Amino acid sequence: MSNSAHQLGHEGETAALHYLLARGYELLHRNYRFRRAEVDLIMQLGPELLVFVEVKARSSSRYGHPEEFVTEPQRQRLRLAATHLQETMDWNGDIRFDILALSPTTQGLRIEHFEDAFY
C-alpha cells in the first residue's frame, strides 16, 4: 500500500469515528484484532447494540465504490472476530455489521453509511 493510500485510510478511519461519535455511538475498540481479522471500529449504540464497522476509503471510484471492496472472506473474518468479542464480553445484545464508505471531494471526505450491510 502506498503511503498516500495508507494516509487516506487512516484519515478515513478517523473521519468515520468522528461521524459515528457525533451520532451517539460510543467507541469500544479501534483496530480490534482476532487471529487474521481486524475490525476497524467496534461501536456501541445504546445498551443493546454492538456495531462492527468496516471503513473503506478510496481515492476515486474508477475501480468501483468503496463499499464494494468488502470481500466475502473478509466478511467471514469479521464475523469470526465478532463472535470472539461477544464471547469475551459475555454480550447478549444485538450486533450489526456496517460499512462506512469514504471518498474525497473538494469539500473534504464524503461519508456513506451502510447500516446492516451484511451478516
pLDDT tens digits, one per residue of 36-50: 999 999 999 999 999
Backbone dihedral angles phi then psi of residue 38, each to the nearest 5 degrees: -135, 125
- The reported pLDDT for the residue numbered 61 is 57
* pLDDT of res. 107: 84
Distances (CA, A) of 32 to 59, 68, 110: 24, 22, 24
Cell digits for 107?
469539500
Helices (H), 25-116: 72-89
Question: Which CATH number applies to 3-118?
Answer: 3.40.1350.10
**Domain parsing of the chain, residue ranges:** 3-118
- The pLDDT value recorded for residue 66 is 52
Pairing of strands 94-105, 49-57: parallel
**pLDDT tens, the chain, 119 aa long:** 456 656 766 788 999 999 999 999 999 999 999 999 999 999 999 999 999 999 988 765 555 565 566 788 999 999 999 999 999 999 999 999 999 988 888 888 889 999 998 87
pLDDT of residue 25: 98
pTM: 0.87
